[in-house]
């Protein structure tokens, strides 16, 4: 069951966004493995405005101070193998003539490379490895927790089939709406020409899971009041507030939104259960 407050239908034109250029870093293990990740970044970048930089992290042959020829050759071989990964990805991407695309092979672990890139990037896009049985360390989780810029994690089963009608969804909790997460969600909705919805799970202060119409109504009014502030800033952007009472509400959101946005302190909420692979959805985690 979902309690929803729908905005009034308006005949006014959709709001226009003053588009700011973004530096988007896309993590690439290899083109085939990260095709969906690259496709998402290319589809959601603003052509002629955003800059996309592909990044491949590789393990260098250190042996610092050794100039022996076999070592030098092996060191060079690793670097050029990494450069080849970037070159293949660049060659196979159908890039708009107006899109700025570059790439780098960087020595270091994927986590360290992406965290350092987050200091200069506006957005990091990475393939979600949380369901990868072959991966013992969850790179995406660590990057989400420590990144200095928003991180979008794209499931490997993601397909770019969105027709533009699915909303951007921002998660709220008992602390209210995160300013940073809402700002990201608003900008995404305006860039993509879609609506924005805020979803909050019903909470039970007394520890009881028993349904309470009064409690539900109070929480809906609290959410409406928070939404009113954002509606005042963006009067033409369709906003919807939802208090969720269904135990499977997260699975429902993943199958019915363009991207699920959460502040970094709420990121663990998305991790206990695996993604619904039949309805995958990119997840954006925003630092505060």
CA distances from 267 to 149, 151, 152, 175, 243 (A): 14, 11, 12, 14, 19
pLDDT at 8: 43
Helix/strand number for the chain, H first, E second: 7, 11
pTM of the predicted model as reported, rounded to 2 decimal places: 0.85
pLDDT at 7: 44
pLDDT at 250: 80
CA 133 distance to own-chain centroid: 21
CA 87 distance to own-chain centroid: 25
Strands 239-244 and 2-5: antiparallel
pLDDT at 220: 76
CA distances from 55 to 2, 50, 90 (A): 41, 16, 11
DSSP assignment of 54-115, as one string?
A: EEEEE-----TT---HHHHHHHHHHHHHHHHHHHHHHHHS---TT-EEEEEEEES-HHHHHH
All domains of the chain in start order, with CATH: 2-15+160-286 (3.40.50.12370), 23-154 (3.40.50.620)
* Nearest residue to 36 (alpha-carbon basis) of 166, 162, 190: 162
Tens digits of pLDDT across the chain (288 residues): 444 444 443 444 445 556 789 999 999 998 878 888 998 998 888 888 899 999 999 999 988 888 899 999 999 999 999 999 999 988 877 655 456 789 999 999 999 999 999 999 999 999 988 766 555 557 899 999 999 999 999 988 777 666 568 899 999 877 778 999 999 999 999 998 999 999 887 665 555 554 567 667 777 787 888 888 898 999 989 998 888 776 677 877 877 889 999 999 998 888 755 555 555 789 999 998
């Amino acid at each position: 069951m979902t309690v929803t407050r729908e905005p009034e239908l308006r005949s006014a034109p959709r709001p226009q966004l003053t588009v700011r250029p973004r530096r988007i870093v896309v993590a690439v293990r290899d083109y085939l493995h990260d095709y969906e990740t690259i496709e998402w970044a290319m589809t959601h970048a603003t052509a002629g405005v955003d800059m996309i930089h592909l990044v491949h992290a590789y393990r260098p042959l250190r042996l610092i101070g050794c100039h022996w020829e076999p070592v030098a050759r092996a060191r060079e071989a690793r670097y050029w193998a990494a450069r080849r990964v970037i070159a293949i990805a660049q060659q196979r991407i159908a890039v708009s003539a107006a899109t700025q695309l570059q790439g780098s092979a960087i020595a270091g672990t994927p986590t360290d490379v992406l965290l350092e890139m987050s200091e200069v990037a506006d957005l990091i896009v990475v393939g979600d490895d949380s369901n990868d049985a072959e991966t013992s360390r969850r790179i995406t989780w660590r990057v989400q927790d420590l990144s200095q810029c928003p991180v979008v994690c794209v499931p490997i089963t993601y397909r770019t089939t969105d027709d533009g009608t699915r909303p951007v969804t921002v998660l709220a909790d008992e602390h209210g709406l995160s300013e940073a997460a809402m700002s990201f969600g608003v900008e995404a909705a305006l860039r993509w020409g879609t609506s924005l919805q805020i979803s909050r799970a019903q909470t039970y202060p007394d520890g009881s899971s028993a349904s309470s119409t009064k409690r539900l109504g109070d929480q809906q009014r609290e959410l409406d009041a928070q939404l009113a502030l954002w509606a005042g800033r963006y009067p033409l952007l369709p906003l919807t507030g939802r208090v969720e009472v269904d135990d499977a509400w997260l699975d429902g959101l993943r199958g019915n939104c363009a991207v699920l946005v959460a502040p970094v302190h709420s990121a663990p909420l998305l991790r206990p259960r695996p993604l619904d692979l039949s309805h995958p959805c990119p997840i954006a985690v925003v630092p505060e």
